[in-house]
Structure 1
Amino acid sequence: MKKIVITQSNYIPWKGYFDAIALSDEFVIYDDMQFTKRDWRNRNIIKTSNGNKWLTIPVEVKGKYFQKINETKISDKKWNIDHWNSIKANYSKSKNFIDFKDFFEELYLNSTSLYLTEINFRFISSICEILKIESNIKFSSEFKLKEERSERLADICLNLNGTDYYSGPAAKSYMNEQVFIEAGIKVHYFDYSGYPEYQQLHGKFEHYVSVLDLIFCEGKNAVNFFKFSV
């Protein structure tokens, strides 16, 4: 059995994203896809005393042009400083902040790449290091992709000798499962319900915030609040 997960890169994703990486044998960042505005590609949520706050990396978007995620450029070179200042202001009182302060400060201040894909990968791989996730990570650009979406995904699985493909529940609306069946690949959909809660700052518990929240609040115990990889 070889488990494959294929999904777009996100900026400082929520815990479910890293849970999926940990579950997979091969995790493929699907950055040949079109960049979508007001999505998770270049932004995510942190908790603050004034409620949830979006941290957004400013990017260049060329109108209705079909712009791939891996073609998307950063438009403000000071975004990293602003984001780090927001994180410090809102998580400095969390019980594990001091343990990770230097790690994330260096990560943010040295994240100066021009391309969003490179920024996202830098954060994803660094957070995997903290969480001790050792799954192999590849990019879709390493593969010769077919035209139809389900065929592309199935073909990547075949190239990686995958037997089982895991996807988010939203994919049920467009996935052509017959393509996978014919390729001898089993399709599974994540169920993101039932995650255990942990002690957060700033009021009511929120599951769908950046994994940074979990790391600063629970530190090395963060993986105990994963669901699929334990």
Structure 2
Amino acid sequence: MKNLLIHPSYFPSISHYIALVQADKVTFEMEDNFQKQTNRNRMYIYSPNGIQLLNVPIKHSPEKHQKYKDVRIENDFAWQKNHFKSLEAAYRTSPFFEYFEDDFRPLFEKKHAFLMDLNLEIFDLVNESLGITITPNKTIEYFHEVSDFTDLRPLINGKKDLTQIESYTQVFEEKHGFLNNLSILDLLFNEGRYAVDYLKNQTL
């Protein structure tokens, strides 16, 4: 994948990061409309009870079509605290949670106004944790079809992302079996920086 076109998302899926680490260049889609029930504002983790959805609440907009970059986060209740507690419950006993915990905790103590700003900060934080450097370009207008990119924008719709990845050790695997293509945090907390080698060896 020479020049990848992809969305920023809330703690991206593993398939997102397989594409990111294997790309020569990365361009973020910044000019699309927000769509509900996508990974723009949600991630899936492996909780003690199996798969768990964590959703960032957003403010309702009177506009029928609102640009993703204009979407505001609803901060009237402590969703950040709830998300971090869920991560603790899911990954406290994983090999690398404690190693990264102090890096991630401050993110959940902030109140970002815009979803895009939160997701871009997450992108930088995850890259730093993985020990990789990715400097994305950003689109300045929207194109339905592109010829000079590998267009993986559809990956943002997690329900349509059918990527099958190789298994790795997960905390509650003995209870519920291997859960496929969760948030990159699942791979990071279980594999640490070995995650990068894993990502490079996967295919989409």
Q: Which bin holds the TM-score, normalised by the shorter protein?
A: 0.7 to 0.9
Cα shift at 1:25: 2.8
| Equivalence for 1:221 | 194
Cα shift at 1:102: 0.7
Task: Give the Cα separation in 2 of the matches to 1:6 and 1:166.
Answer: 6
Task: Give the Cα separation in 2 of the matches to 1:197 and 1:115.
Answer: 34
Cα shift at 1:36: 0.6
| Equivalence for 1:166 | 150
**Please, what TM-score do these two structures have when normalized by structure 1?**
0.76
In 1, are the aligned partners of 2:163 and 2:181 still within 8 Å (CA)? no
Task: Give the Cα separation in 2 of the matches to 1:134 and 1:227.
Answer: 14
| Equivalence for 2:158 | none
Structure with larger Rg: 1
Cα shift at 1:170: 5.4
Task: Give the Cα separation in 1 of the matches to 2:195 and 2:82.
Answer: 26
Task: Give the Cα separation in 2 of the matches to 1:66 and 1:116.
Answer: 16
The structure 1 residue matched to 2:169, chosen from 186, 196, 199, is 199
Task: Give the Cα separation in 1 of the matches to 2:81 and 2:69.
Answer: 23
In 1, are the aligned partners of 2:14 and 2:187 still within 8 Å (CA)? yes
RCO greater where, 1 or 2, for CA within 8 Å and sep 6 or more? Answer: 2
Task: Give the Cα separation in 1 of the matches to 2:178 and 2:82.
Answer: 25
Instruction: Verify: 1:149 aligned to 2:116, yes or no.
Output: no
Task: Give the Cα separation in 1 of the matches to 2:162 and 2:21.
Answer: 15
| Equivalence for 1:139 | 138
SS in 2 for 1:47: strand
Task: Give the Cα separation in 2 of the matches to 1:19 and 1:61.
Answer: 33
Cα shift at 1:201: 1.5
Cα shift at 1:38: 1.0
SS in 1 for 2:11: coil
Equivalenced residues, count: 194
Matches for 1:65-214 after TM superposition, within 5 Å: 65-77=64-76, 78-110=78-110, 112-140=111-139, 143=140, 145=141, 148-150=143-145, 153-154=146-147, 157=148, 165-168=149-152, 192-193=163-164, 195-202=165-172, 203-214=176-187
Point out the more displaced range, 98-107 or 50-59: 98-107
Structure 1 residues 212 and 68 mapped into 2: Cα distance closer, same or farther (>3 Å)? same
Cα shift at 1:18: 1.6
**Please, what TM-score do these two structures have when normalized by structure 2?**
0.85
Gaps of 5+ in 2: 156-160
- RMSD of Structure 2 on Structure 1 (CA): 2.5
Cα shift at 1:229: 7.7
Structure 1 residues 29 and 221 mapped into 2: Cα distance closer, same or farther (>3 Å)? same
Task: Give the Cα separation in 2 of the matches to 1:137 and 1:170.
Answer: 18
| Equivalence for 1:181 | none
Cα shift at 1:47: 0.8
Structure 1 residues 192 and 100 mapped into 2: Cα distance closer, same or farther (>3 Å)? same
Q: Percent identity?
A: 24
Task: Give the Cα separation in 2 of the matches to 1:48 and 1:192.
Answer: 21
Structure 1 residues 108 and 138 mapped into 2: Cα distance closer, same or farther (>3 Å)? farther
Cα shift at 1:31: 2.4
In 2, are the aligned partners of 1:3 and 1:24 still within 8 Å (CA)? yes
1:210 partner letter:
S
Cα shift at 1:199: 0.5
Gaps of 5+ in 1: 158-164, 172-189
SS in 2 for 1:83: helix
In 2, are the aligned partners of 1:45 and 1:210 still within 8 Å (CA)? yes
